[in-house]
Structure 1
Amino acid sequence: MTRIGITGHSNLSADTVPLVRTALDEVLAPYGGDLVGVSCLARGADQVFAEAVLDAGGTLEVVLPSVDYREAKVAPGDLGRFDALLMRSALVRYMPHRSAGPDAYRDANESVLAGTDRLVAVWDGRPSGGKGGTGDAVEAARARGVPVDVVWPDGARRE
């Protein structure tokens, strides 16, 4: 089994989502069912990745940053998709934080990186500025020698 984690932008534009999904399908195709995808299930890249993993026949594991993540951070309009992915996951782990916030997100990113063989980054290449964003996760993965597949198709944009 190959374990692949995801980091990526949560604010993908609506027309970017299918572009990213196609690119993710291509990145994941060589692994087929021999794949475990690890995601925090944030809206945007994390959820598109989770769906691609499941559709490829892989297994989904979820790392939630805090006990209150669903209630505090998932918008009402996104609950159906979030819950559907959560129910299809083989394993759900919570970081030891009661409330979502910078420390919880850093710990969740650390957990994803520590438990994967590769990282997929749906990333426009811009630095995060040290706040635990996508660029910071890519930098941390590279510093550890974790291979990173950057996905940012032509025409992709953020809202």
Structure 2
Amino acid sequence: MKGKTCCVTGHRDLPQNEINKIKTALAHEIDAAVTDGFTCFMSGFADGVDQYFVELVLERKQTTPALELIAVIPYRKRLDSLNKKTRTRELLEACADVVVIQEKYLPSVYSHRNRYMVEHSDRVIAVYDGRETGGTAKTIRFTHRMKKELRDVSVNKELSRAERIAEFVQQIKNPYHFKCGRFTVQASFSAEGATLEECIKGILR
């Protein structure tokens, strides 16, 4: 990797009403990095922020061919999965290099991927909504420990009731049959059945 390197970390589950703002802010940070002499950009290729970052870097590569994009994939089967989808396969093919952290999946593999990117970067862009747990929060803490430059893109997680409902339905796909942790929830309605209030009273007796 030549020149200064910048990587990204961020959430996969972003509020729909924030995505365009996040893309604009990411574009601004990428442009600022290019102006500051960064020529290499790394992404872990997760859904959400990572792939938005990839698309934005590749857009800029069209006018600045010296830019390089490095894909840092946590394990081999994840790479295989990305290659099965036309969109992500094309993004991978546009990368200067693809780094696979390890061959087999282990629970710690995502932490290892994030650590690799921070260790090999001079600047980290973090798209972050303030939550204290998860991979993005851990990566930010590691960035501070490594004394690397951190640039924040904040996410507004305050949604209206209607937006929260819409996002919940989008995530679970089928509101009548979905999983909550290790439990499967199946909902049905009957004109002759008990009301929700009566069911709750029955549970609380």
Hey, what's the Cα distance between the residues in 2 that align with 1:145 and 1:60? Answer: 23
Match of 2:114, SS state, is helix
Deviation string 1:73-107 (CA, Å, 9 cap, x unpaired) is x6x8xx333212111111001012312x4211111
1:115-147 Cα deviation digits (max 9, x unpaired):
10010011102111xx5x100100000111011
2-structure distance, mates of 1:96, 1:4: 22
Q: Distance in 1 between matches of 2:149 and 2:117?
A: 13
Which protein has greater RCO, CA pairs closer than 8 Å, 6+ apart? 1
CA distance in 2, matches of 1:155, 1:64: 28
- Equivalent in the alignment of 2:52: 48
> Normalization by structure 2: what TM-score?
0.66
- TM-score when scaled to structure 1? 0.84
Q: Is residue 23–residue 153 contact of structure 1 (8 Å, CA) maintained in 2?
A: no
Q: How many residues align?
A: 151
Corresponding residue of 2:120: 115
Structure of greater Rg: 2
Amino acid at match of 1:144: M
The answer to whether residue 142 in structure 2 is matched with residue 140 in structure 1 is yes
Q: Name the CA shift for 1:103/1:127 in 2 (closer, same or farther; >3 Å).
A: same
Q: Which residue of structure 1 aligns with residue 93 of structure 2?
A: 87
User: Over aligned residues, Cα RMSD in angstroms?
Assistant: 2.3
**Identity over aligned pairs, percent:** 26
Q: Could you tell me how far apart the structure 2 residues matched to 1:70 and 1:94 are?
A: 8
Q: Is the 8 A contact 1:16 1:156 kept in 2?
A: no
SS in 1 for 2:90: helix
Unaligned runs of at least 5 residues, structure 2: 62-66, 168-205
Structure 1: segments with no counterpart, 5+ residues = none
Residue 51 and residue 60 in structure 1: after superposition, are their counterparts in 2 closer, same or farther (change >3 A)? same
Q: Tell me the equivalent position of 1:38.
A: 42
